[in-house]
Structure 1
Amino acid sequence: MAQTPLERELGGTRTAARPTPLDALATADKWFKAGRKLDIQALAGELGVSRVTLHRWIGTRERLLVEVLWRNADRALSRLATQVEADRPACSHTAEVLSRWVVGVLDNPGIRQLQAEEGEMLARLLTHDASEFQSRMIERVAELLSADIEHRRVTIDLDVTDLAYTTVRIVESFVHTSAITGGRPDPERNARVLRAILR
């Protein structure tokens, strides 16, 4: 699939024209944090560009949402990894990072809005094997697990990529419980399961 202008700018290639695809991402991110629905027509209007131009920049609304969702996850995971490293728990740092991350995800206004209004789409964007979010999340968790394995905090005899995939799927099952089973997300149960498995 050809890269969108937004994806190219995220890779470091910027154009001189203003506003830019990165401005679209920044505005969408601001709306997400406020729990405001991402409407493409409204976003184009705020940026002062046509809907056609915005679509050329970002591709589809779903592709823009993936970038917004990953931007928030990436920042949160980095911050939490630093916190956990400073706290130096004896157990798996991966389990601690992801346990804290789930609490934040479930309290995020943007996530709450999407779960309430477009829960199935949100689950698909975050969990589908073809999703950029999914592949990035697995890669990040594999990095965390590699450090755990190196320091003997996790001793499971399993390929780190397979373990990362499984760990991400566990986390997803607790974050997207409402879309999967109709139940309520349970971050404490998620934490117990991760701590029991990642040791």
Structure 2
Amino acid sequence: MIAPEVLLRGAAYHYLQHSTIDMDILAGELAISRATLYRAVGSRDALLGEVFWAIAKVLIAEAAGEAGGTGPDRVIAVSRIFTELLDSAPQMRTFVAAEPQTAARVLFTAAAELRHHAIDAQLRIFVESGIEGDPADLRRRAALYLRTLEGVLYGPLLGSGPIAFEAAEPALRALLTD
């Protein structure tokens, strides 16, 4: 059996090279059978979610490291920088254009593990930035904040067309105050 971290690293590299994941080709690159690959990851969607999350963690850390300030200003700065970093990566644009249904399934469904990771990360950004409140309320606000930010990141996929960060900023800020 292949080590999970080796599989994820190989899958992320494959995605960055091809802007998609072809399970047959990936299995060959990892020198395992297709059946072994599926046993290890469950499904292509699950693997894509893990790859997207691995990449997002790096971008979130970079954005958080670059953002200054505290409170709502810091949360907005992290979001703006993250949006710019993701927008500068052609792989996601290519993937969304080529596989919009798969992208929507992996990025937006409540059952997708990626969504849970993203909400947890947004909640951590709130707390690290000094946003306070009841934990259940903060989690709900983090989920709403994330949905609004997704409109900026993936507006065309959601059917709303492109949305500039500046247009969404007042709604994002409204979720950061009691």
Q: Give the TM interval when normalised to the shorter protein.
A: 0.7 to 0.9
Gaps of at least 5 residues in structure 1 are 1-16
1:17-166 matches, cutoff 5 A: 19-84=2-67, 87-88=68-69, 91-150=72-131, 159-166=137-144
Q: Would the alpha carbon gap of residues 187 and 107 (structure 1) be closer, same or farther in structure 2, given more than 3 Å must change?
A: farther
For 2:151 and 2:162, how far apart are their aligned partners in 1? 11
Following superposition, the deviation at residue 109 of structure 1 comes to 2.4
Aligned partners of 1:99, 1:69: CA distance in 2, in Å? 18
Q: 1:180 aligns with which of 158, 166, 172?
A: 158
Counterpart contact for 2:123–2:139, Cα < 8 Å: yes
C-alpha distance in structure 1 between counterparts of 2:164 and 2:174, whole Å? 16
Q: Which amino acid aligns with 1:144?
A: I
Q: Is the 8 A contact 2:152 2:164 kept in 1?
A: yes
Aligned residue-pair number: 176
Identity level (%): 25
Q: Distance in 2 between matches of 1:104 and 1:190?
A: 17
Any stretches of 5+ residues in structure 2 without a counterpart? none
TM score, norm. by length of structure 1? 0.77
**Mapped contact 2:11–2:51 kept (Cα < 8 A):** yes
Residue pair 1:99, 1:190 contacting (<8 A) in 2 also: no
Aligned-residue offset at 1:148: 3.3
Deviation >6 Å, runs of 4+? none
Distance 1:102 1:192 in 2: 16
Residues 16-41 of structure 1 deviation map (CA, whole Å, 9 limit, x = unaligned) = x5x53322211211122234321000
Q: Note the alpha carbon deviations across 1:79-104, whole angstroms, 9 max, x for none.
A: 211221xx326743112111211122
- Please, what is the CA RMSD of the aligned residues? 2.4
Contact 1:103-1:187 at 8 Å conserved across structures: no
Larger radius of gyration: 1
